[in-house]
Amino acid sequence: MPPDQHQNNNSSNNGSAATSTAILDDAPDSAISYTDAIDYWTGVPATVDGVLGGFGNTSLPRTDVRGSLQFIRSVRRKVPAFDEIGKGTALKRGCDIGAGIGRVTRDVLAQVCDKVDLVEPVLPFADQIEVELSRANVLDKLGTIYRVGMQDFYPEKKSYWFIWCQWCVGQLKDEDLVKFLMRCAEAVVDGGLIFVKENNTSTDEDEFDSTDSSVTRSDSSFRSLFHMAGLELLVTEIQQGLPAGLYPVRSYALRPFNYS
Ligand SMILES: C[S@@+](CC[C@H](N)C(=O)[O-])C[C@H]1O[C@@H](n2cnc3c(N)ncnc32)[C@H](O)[C@@H]1O
């Protein structure tokens, strides 16, 4: 699901919340194979260009990083409880899911967190994380690297200021994504948030991608799955300024419904 693998034929993408919350057996996500996905990613070079599907040397990485930092700033302005944690003296721990070689941690999370844990099941990518963080002089921000898939990640309860999932949750079947998000909801501290930044299809349909055995979801599918996971959507924005012809990329900031 790096952006290059998809074409954007119609960028009208402001879908409303899905009315059905049923998970269907013949839905595109039923074709996902976790082993095929790992085989695919293991054959990809452990570089920015590799994790971004050949877009590493375009304006995409810089635009993406700028957009993510801007989105975090805008969420901090709009969500006072989240901002309070960010200003406080408590350790601001982040978690980067489907982290690849640590690009997002290196360029985004290290700028705002004290420590970052990373979850990445593809071993050559996970092994590259330390190299990338030390090159950028942010190795002191490195927490634990969990070499597992999201579906097998059971984070400690109330341990993260925020959890960031980018260009990776399409690797999970709907049911596993809902369960994973429920565990994330328990893993953030009071006032903490879950961020999801992913491609959206240009229609209301999800699409299976056999290249990396993933699904690209519509905005309405995401909203429905977030709802099923007990997450409230607080802020959402489309990433601006991406190269033409790609799927829209949308960021979501989410908080557990039971937050008091
Ligand atoms: C398109 S890359 C994005 C990497 C990183 N988030 C970034 O934006 O630079 C997708 C990443 O998801 C990882 N991935 C694949 N299956 C996964 C799973 N089940 N759980 C967690 N990560 C997975 C891949 O190994 C790869 O690092």
Q: How is the chain classified by DSSP, letter by letter?
A: --GGG---S-----PPPPS-----TTSGGGG--HHHHHHHHHTS-SSHHHHTTT-TTSSHHHHHHHHHHHHHHHHHHH-HHHHHHHHSSS--EEEEET-TTTHHIIIIIHHH-SEEEEE---HHHHHHHHHHHHHTT-GGGEEEEE-S-GGG--PPTT-EEEEEEES-GGGS-HHHHHHHHHHHHHHEEEEEEEEEEEEB-SSSS-EEETTTTEEEBPHHHHHHHHHHTTEEEEEEEEPPSPPTTSPPEEEEEEEETT--
Q: Which residue minimizes the CA distance to atom 10 of ligand 1?
A: 168
pLDDT category, 260, cuts 50, 70, 90? low
Mean per-residue pLDDT of the chain: 91
Distances (CA, A) of 255 to 87, 196, 230: 19, 11, 8
Mutate to test the pocket of ligand 1, among 171, 174, 179, 247 (most ligand atoms within 8 A of CB): 171
Q: Is residue 67 part of a domain?
A: yes
Cα of 136 vs centre of ligand 1, distance in Å, is 21
Mean pLDDT is lowest, of 18-32, 141-155, 198-212, 234-248, for 18-32
Q: Is residue 19 part of a domain?
A: no
Cα of 62 vs centre of ligand 1, distance in Å, is 19
Cα of 167 vs centre of ligand 1, distance in Å, is 7
Cα of 209 vs centre of ligand 1, distance in Å, is 14
pLDDT greater at residue 38 or residue 6: 38
Ligand 1 atom nearest 125 alpha carbon: 27
Cα of 120 vs centre of ligand 1, distance in Å, is 7
Q: Is residue 92 part of a domain?
A: yes
The string of pLDDT tens digits covering residues 143-184 is: 999 999 999 999 999 999 999 999 999 999 999 999 999 999
pLDDT at 186: 97
Mean pLDDT of 57-79: 97
Mean pLDDT of 225-229: 98
Q: Is residue 153 part of a domain?
A: yes
pLDDT at 3: 58
pLDDT greater at residue 31 or residue 5: 31
User: Is residue 193's pLDDT more than 60?
Assistant: yes
Domain containing residue 189? 25-194+206-231
Mean pLDDT of 38-53: 98
Q: Is residue 255 part of a domain?
A: no
pLDDT greater at residue 259 or residue 223: 223
pTM for this predicted structure = 0.92
| Total domains present in the chain | 1
Q: Is residue 168 part of a domain?
A: yes
Q: Is residue 54 part of a domain?
A: yes
Q: What is the CATH number of the domain that holds 128?
A: 3.40.50.150
Mean pLDDT of 29-43: 97
Cα of 10 vs centre of ligand 1, distance in Å, is 26
Angstrom distance (rounded) from CA 136 to CA 18: 42
pLDDT greater at residue 252 or residue 18: 252
Mean pLDDT of 119-123: 98
Ligand 1, pocket residues at CB < 6 Å: 1-2, 34, 37, 41, 51, 98-100, 103-104, 119-122, 125, 149-151, 166-168, 171
Mutate to test the pocket of ligand 1, among 35, 51, 63, 214 (most ligand atoms within 8 A of CB): 51
pLDDT at 16: 30
